[in-house]
Structure 1
Amino acid sequence: MKSFLLKRFGQMLLVLVIVSIFAFSITYFAPGDPLYMYTSPSVSSYKMTDEQLDQMRESLGLNGNIVERYISWASKILQGDWGLSISNHQSVLSQVLDRLPNTMGLMGAALLLAILVSVPLGLMAGYFKNKWVDNLISGFSYLAISLPAFWFGIMLIILFSLKLGWLPSSGMRTIGVNSAGDVIQHAILPVIVLSVNNTAVFLRYIRSNTIVQMEEDYVLTAISKGASKWHVLCRHIMKNCLLPIITMVGMNFGTLITGSFIVESVFGWPGLGTLCMDAINNRDYTMIMGITMFSCVMLLIGNFLADILYGVADPRIKQGKEKSHG
């Protein structure tokens, strides 16, 4: 297990370096001077001083040749100096950390909803293979996979906010209201939209595993001894089907991150997604680079934790990895 984790950690570092090169290239290959909007009076009413411009160029790594620029920028990133936002001249890292809980809360709720919905539906679809229940659930999964998040979000806003008036259409809180219930009301629609795709993926995976498990010897033996199929389904098959979901969560963590950017933009949720979209619209390169790096780190950590939890949850997997890497 130790050698496996070391190998995975090395792969994480390699991916992180590659992503950092990509993030740095955003400013290097950007057309024109990234600070043009703050040096030209015709573009911005705010005029930065020469000292501020020098600090901004240094934080963006715009001094020296490309190798020197990258090394300077990467070293500062490792030291926790992510530079200042071009838009508001505040620390990039502090703004990212300030918005992070909002995005993580949305992602966590969407992931929990996806698991709670997909597990029973997937087990039922596998149990009633090729029957009307299976066809109905499978049809739902195909529809959910093909739904564009932005379109689905807009449709929910039109129905539940504009037509029925049941739920708020945007934001995270109502002005003047500071309660958990108000936050939950604002989160219902974005959580549903963000969870739909993962729900469909998990559902299909659980269904196929249920069908395979139903034909295993231990299931046939238990049924022959008098155990009902529902008992075997809930006590044994569900346990074996849930284990691979740990890996599926790690594999789909990237979908949650990228999906949250779209969903947050549609619903005006004050998370990393809206922060990134604002940065793109304002050509705030330091912010774009910072969010790119932070999203990559979140994705790598999610996959790494999924590998660890999978090995802990199933000792056979852990032993197999030790043998294969020993």
Structure 2
Amino acid sequence: MMRYAVTRMVLLLAGLLVASVLIFLTLRVLPGDVAAVIGGTTSSPEQVAAIREGLGLDRPLATQYTDWIGGLLRGDLGTSLLTGAPVADELASKAQVTVPLGVLSLLIALAFSIPLGVAAALRRGRADGTALSVAAQSLAAVPVVWAGLMLVVVFAVWLGWLPAQGFPRNGWADPDAAIRSLILPALTIGVVEGAMLMRFVRSATLQAIDQDYVRTAAAKGLTRTRALIRHGLPNVALSVITVLGLQVAGIVVGAVIIEQLFSLPGIGRMLVTDVGQRDLPKVQSELLALTGFVLVIGFVVDLVQRLIDPRQREAV
């Protein structure tokens, strides 16, 4: 197990290194010049060149990259070219919105996808089982923006139960208002991601129902449902854990869109704003932080599967 963990850690670090190179180079080919943004529309070319030199943007790309990586190794994510604020502080501040949004979205997705996915499998061939499958297929195909707009129309405009946009200025000092502002965004992400997870849970449950050990347990006197719960669901859970890693990545991507739609001051909205302003040091650190988060989730999923599945522990 230790050897496997070390191997996966090396692959994780290698993935982060490759991602850092790709992020750094990709941002340098985007159009626009942050020095021109800082200088304003009235700046002369000489003034823009002086700003670029002062910011170190005229240095060779290799030097800029090694300086950035060296700072990361020291725990320094850099500073914003436009505001001069430490990137780490801004990420920590915005994470107070994005992290609760992601956790709440995941809980919503799990709350309905697992029981309804199992129910759809058990009711296969019946009207209610077919209805659940059709609903999952339909919801999974819904664009997240359209789903968000529909939820706003129903719960914010028609019923007036929840706020349509924004986040409290005093943040989590007012927890009731903060949670209310996250419910619709979390529902938007959770319903779409949960529908995709529900389809997978149904498929994995159907495979488990057809396994010999479930049929044998049923032949010994257990009902099909009890046989599935006792012997089949643990194997379904192993498959679901794998998909959850992908779902987390989907939630991260969804947060970038949803924070724009609901005007939430989170990491996703900050990232979109910084890309538009060409704040390269800030954007590259934000992208690498998000990439690292997704890679770490995959690392944890692999280790958890290895720990709970004896077949994987015995594999080379």
Task: Please confirm whether the aligned pair reaches a TM-score higher than 0.5, indicating the same fold.
Answer: yes
For residues 58 and 103 of structure 2, the distance between their equivalents in structure 1, rounded to whole angstroms, comes to 41
* Amino acid in the other structure paired with 2:55: M
> Is the Cα contact below 8 Å between 1:56 and 1:84 reproduced in 2?
no
Report the equivalent of 2:223: 228
5 Å-filtered alignment, 1:158-307, equals 158-173=153-168, 178-307=173-302
* Amino acid in the other structure paired with 1:296: T
* Amino acid in the other structure paired with 2:23: A
For residues 247 and 278 of structure 2, the distance between their equivalents in structure 1, rounded to whole angstroms, comes to 29
Query: How far apart are residue 141 of structure 1 and its match?
Result: 1.4
> Is the Cα contact below 8 Å between 2:52 and 2:58 reproduced in 1?
no
* Amino acid in the other structure paired with 1:17: L
For residues 306 and 196 of structure 2, the distance between their equivalents in structure 1, rounded to whole angstroms, comes to 22
Query: How far apart are residue 177 of structure 1 and its match?
Result: 9.1
User: Within the alignment, does 1:96 sit opposite 2:95 as a pair?
Assistant: no
For residues 30 and 72 of structure 1, the distance between their equivalents in structure 2, rounded to whole angstroms, comes to 20
> Is the Cα contact below 8 Å between 1:82 and 1:92 reproduced in 2?
yes
TM-score (norm 1): 0.87
TM-score (norm 2): 0.90
**Residue 141 of structure 2 is aligned with which of 135, 146, 157?**
146
Report the equivalent of 1:308: 303
> Is the Cα contact below 8 Å between 1:63 and 1:69 reproduced in 2?
no
Identity of aligned residues (%): 26
**Residue 151 of structure 2 is aligned with which of 139, 156, 164?**
156
Query: How far apart are residue 31 of structure 1 and its match?
Result: 3.5
What is the count of residue pairs matched by the alignment?
Answer: 313
> Is the Cα contact below 8 Å between 1:253 and 1:303 reproduced in 2?
no
User: Within the alignment, does 1:56 sit opposite 2:51 as a pair?
Assistant: no
Change (3 A) 1:69 1:311: same
For each residue in 1:194-251, what CA deviation from the matched residue of structure 2 results, as whole angstroms up to 9, or x when unmatched? 1123212221221112112112222222222222223223333222212221111112
Alpha carbon RMSD of aligned pairs, Å?
2.5
Report the equivalent of 1:5: 5
For each residue in 1:32-65, what CA deviation from the matched residue of structure 2 results, as whole angstroms up to 9, or x when unmatched? 543112234627xxx99x7x865632xxxx3432
For each residue in 1:255-314, what CA deviation from the matched residue of structure 2 results, as whole angstroms up to 9, or x when unmatched? 111111111111112210111122123222222112111101101111001111111122
> Is the Cα contact below 8 Å between 1:106 and 1:191 reproduced in 2?
yes
For residues 188 and 123 of structure 1, the distance between their equivalents in structure 2, rounded to whole angstroms, comes to 26
Where structure 2 has 5 or more consecutive residues not aligned to the other structure, the ranges are: none
Is the partner of 2:34 in helix, strand or coil?
Answer: coil
For residues 176 and 230 of structure 2, the distance between their equivalents in structure 1, rounded to whole angstroms, comes to 35
For residues 173 and 4 of structure 2, the distance between their equivalents in structure 1, rounded to whole angstroms, comes to 46
Report the equivalent of 2:25: 25
* Amino acid in the other structure paired with 2:148: G
For residues 69 and 204 of structure 2, the distance between their equivalents in structure 1, rounded to whole angstroms, comes to 44
Change (3 A) 1:97 1:177: closer
